[in-house]
């Protein structure tokens, strides 16, 4: 993944799975911490940047 991830970006594992929100990016940019919901249960996990793809960035919507 070449994009620079930011907190609030929505990502997904390369292999699929739930959409996840980035909550932290390692200082060296090698890993991202994420949060997602499985039903009503909040889940968290950290993944190497190479294992995830950007679904949508956190840039505010244009009016």
Q: Which residue has the tokens 């009503």?
A: 40
Domain segments of the chain as ranges: 10-56
Inform me whether the pLDDT recorded for 40 exceeds 80. Answer: yes
Tell me what pLDDT residue 2 has: 45
Whole-model pTM above 0.95? no
Distance CA 56, CA 7 (A): 12
Cβ–Cβ under 8 Å, residues 60 and 51: no
The CA-atom distances, in angstroms, between 12 and each of 23, 40, 62, 63 are: 13, 19, 24, 27
Work out the average pLDDT over 44-61: 88
Residue 22 CA, distance from chain mean position: 4
Work out the average pLDDT over 10-38: 96
């Amino acid at each position: 993944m070449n994009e620079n991830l930011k907190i609030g970006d929505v990502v997904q594992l390369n292999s699929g799975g739930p959409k996840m929100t980035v909550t932290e990016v390692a200082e060296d940019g090698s890993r991202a911490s994420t949060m997602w919901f499985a039903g009503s249960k909040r889940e968290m996990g950290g993944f190497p940047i190479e294992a995830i793809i950007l679904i949508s960035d956190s840039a505010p919507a244009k009016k």
